[in-house]
Amino acid sequence: MQKISVQQLLDAGVHFGHLKRKWNPAMAPYIFMEKEGIHIIDLQKSVVKLETAAAALKQIAKSGRKILFVATKKQAKEIVADMVKKVNMPYVTERWPGGMLTNFPTIRKAVKKMSSIDRMATDGTYDNLSKREKLQIARQRAKLEKNLGSIADLTRLPAAMFIVDITKEYIAVREARRLNIPIFAMVDTNSDPNLADFPIPANDDASKSIALIIDFVCKAIQEGLDERKFEREKETDVEAAKTRKKAKKADEIELDDEEEAEADEEIEEDADEEEANPDDSLASRTSAKKALTMKAPAKKGVIIDLEEDEEE
């Protein structure tokens, strides 16, 4: 898996925390120092935590399960949407709909409603409606798309959640913890890292910092997806090889059966010939025996006179 350096984090401003008066004491192990009233995050620990979280996310993606990204902050919306879309994972960048996880069946009904509106546009039902009804349905569709568009393909609860700023997304954190869904999160100095299963100490306000962390995580997820695809192709190749081997073996068995059948037919033909011409058969056996006698090597001190034998 790829690595990330402290210099990369430093250049992106990941080390900048909040003001000292806004800090959360639970973040003390991840704070390097205080400078001009601002806490500085220990980037050495950030590297370790980030790589650990990325490795775990890679394994989840490799297993074929979904990871839900949550980032409703203004500076994180577009970044998360653009990067997460590339790895085909669900994300929430607008308002978090309350009960999205704990009341998941209701959310799925809303998604199905959006799909039914799409079907109305294709099957001709939409054309039979009045102008006012069309406008109402279009507004409803736009609202559903805005809030639920990215999770339309999420047919079951996600295997994990990645959250940018767990303090702002406290409702999502509560629902995930209630359902025992693992939480990966960017944790700033004003947040409680104990709320996340895989906290990543980092500046969650700067767009450069968010972009660097999300990009690193998405690359790890893509690696997991690629490995899953490679293993599936390998399994398919192995199964195809086994099928070819079985087919070849079956052909060989069939060929052996044909050869045995041909040999049996020849034996039967010879037997029939012997029954039809017993004298010819006896003469052929005598001549074969004589030929073998001629080919046999003479013993020491014994002279074989073939001409005399023939005359006799």
Whether 78 shows a pLDDT value over 80: the answer reads: yes
Average pLDDT, the chain: 82
Q: State mean pLDDT over 141-148.
A: 80
Residue 53's pLDDT is: 94
282 or 240, higher pLDDT = 240
Percent of the chain whose pLDDT exceeds 90: 40
Terminal alpha carbon distance of the chain: 96
Domain of residue 45 covers 6-225
Each residue of 293-307: pLDDT tens digit?
554 454 444 444 444
Cα–Cα dist 12/10, whole Å? 5
Q: Are 213 and 50 in contact (CB under 8 A)?
A: yes
In the structure, what pLDDT confidence band is assigned to residue 311 with cuts at 50, 70 and 90? very low
Q: Give the pTM.
A: 0.72
Cα–Cα dist 195/199, whole Å? 8
Would residue 153 count as lying in a domain?
yes
Residue 296's pLDDT is: 46
305 or 88, higher pLDDT = 88
27 or 153, higher pLDDT = 27
Cα–Cα dist 273/284, whole Å? 12
Percent of the chain whose pLDDT exceeds 70: 79
Q: Give the residue among 78, 76, 94 at the shortest CA–CA distance from 143.
A: 94
Q: SS3 of 30, please?
A: helix
Number of domains in the chain: 1
Would residue 175 count as lying in a domain?
yes
Report long-range pairs for 19-25 (Cβ below 8 Å, ≥24 apart).
22/189, 22/190, 23/189, 23/190, 24/189, 24/190, 24/191, 24/192
Would residue 232 count as lying in a domain?
no
Write the burial class of residue 302 (CB in 10 Å: 0-12 exposed, 13-18 middle, 19+ buried): exposed
Would residue 295 count as lying in a domain?
no
Residues pairing with 35 in the sheet: 38
Whether 115 shows a pLDDT value over 60: the answer reads: yes
Would residue 144 count as lying in a domain?
yes
CATH of the domain at 130: 3.40.50.10490
Would residue 103 count as lying in a domain?
yes
Cα–Cα dist 34/172, whole Å? 31
What is the distance, to the nearest Å, from the Cα of residue 67 to the centroid of all Cα atoms in its chain? Answer: 13
Cα–Cα dist 96/77, whole Å? 12
Whether 3 shows a pLDDT value over 70: the answer reads: yes
Would residue 290 count as lying in a domain?
no
Would residue 307 count as lying in a domain?
no
285 or 241, higher pLDDT = 241
